[in-house]
Amino acid sequence: MGLIGAGGIAENRHIPAYQSLNEDVEITGVQDVNLVRAKEVAEKYAIPHVYEDYLEMLKHVDAVTICTPNKFHESIAVAALNQGIHVLCEKPMAMNAAEGKRMVDAAEKNNRILMIGYHYRFMDAVALAKQSMADVGNPIVTRVQALRQRKVPGWGVFINKQLQGGGSLIDWGCHLLDTALWLVSPSKPVEVNAQTYQRLSKQPNQVNDWGSYDHEAIDVDDHVSAYIRFDDQSTLLFECSWAANIKEDKTHVSISGENGGLSVFPFELYQPKHNRMMETHTNTTEDQQQAGLLQAKNFIDACSGKAQLRSSPQEALQVSKVIDAIYESSNQGKSVFIN
């Protein structure tokens, strides 16, 4: 395994996961445009090789994990896939769906594994919700809230639209959007009406829990709301924010269906039985490190032909199409249909 990008997500999620799976995978190289940083990470985690150029790394590995800013996802992934290298790419898939489609095409052409890091699918509560959808029945209304109280990331390039493509939606909301789309599948989104905002984060003298940032430089969304209609007439009410003036952070996914309903965080199942509403509660974990480990295991097993991907590149591309439609709808001030 080679790591492309040696920032926080590589160090805090992917390196620990792969080193826990050391019977199945060995991290043999790391590359970053900041060579000093790459060398520091390599030394800290006993990674034997450091590369200045990821193209050189591709000659020496079986798979890569891409942890760069979003702008570079497509070009690196396509180059790797065309060299016969399997790819795990951090979310979102790319800057837009057109780039994502080129990644999918390269994976299919070269018969290689491409996985996008939507690790919420591997969280205990989400996996149980997926198994419980038979009790929910056909979805009617899905509700998603990915809300943070005053937590614009004050590090990295998160507020740079040229490098990231967007803000709270493309960085944080995409996780719960992917989760919801997976749970209600095979229902497919067909129409989006949305509005994006960047009012709060543009204000001077910020109250912000995640460090300081240049309020004049930020050019990405800090709030997003959307109404999404599906091909079976079900709907999804979506809201995400980095900087909400709310009491506390909120991570919420719930589904009301024809036979029952559920809420994911924490997991609860609601069913009409015996002339009353019954609630089922159970203990589930929301351990993101464990989810990252399970994601790495699934990717390695898929590369070895032992498993199918839980998160397919085609599904990740669908998420990107919805994200594109949300931004387009806001820009145009009207509903947008998804191809």
pLDDT digit string, tens, across residues 296-314? 999 999 999 999 999 999 9
Helix/strand/coil percentages in the chain, nearest 5? 40, 25, 40
**Interatomic CA distance for residues 128 and 134, integer angstroms:** 11
Helix axes 313-332, 97-110, angle to 10 degrees: 160
Helix axes 73-82, 97-110, angle to 10 degrees: 10
User: How far is CA 205 from each of CA 56, 156, 199, 246, rounded to the nearest angstrom?
Assistant: 45, 20, 13, 18
If we measure between CA atoms, which residue out of 83, 84, 94 comes closest to residue 116?
94
Q: pLDDT at position 155, please? A: 81
Q: pLDDT at position 214, please? A: 86
Instruction: In the chain, list all ranges with CATH 3.30.360.10.
Output: 121-294+318-337
Q: pLDDT at position 280, please? A: 93
End-to-end CA distance of the chain: 36
**Helix, strand or coil, per DSSP, at residue 283:** coil
If we measure between CA atoms, which residue out of 99, 104, 101, 105 comes closest to residue 74?
99
Q: pLDDT at position 154, please? A: 81
If we measure between CA atoms, which residue out of 275, 271, 91 comes closest to residue 174?
91
**Helix, strand or coil, per DSSP, at residue 13:** helix
**Domain 121-294+318-337 classified CATH 3.55.50.30?**
no
Q: pLDDT digit string (tens) for 258-295?
A: 999 999 999 999 999 999 999 999 988 888 899 999 99
pTM higher than 0.75: yes
Q: Show the low-confidence residues of the chain (pLDDT under 50).
A: none
Class of domain 2-118: alpha beta
Q: pLDDT at position 184, please? A: 98
Instruction: In the chain, list all ranges with CATH 3.40.50.720.
Output: 2-118
Helix (H) or strand (E) holding 315: helix 313-332
**Interatomic CA distance for residues 234 and 109, integer angstroms:** 35
**Helix, strand or coil, per DSSP, at residue 193:** strand
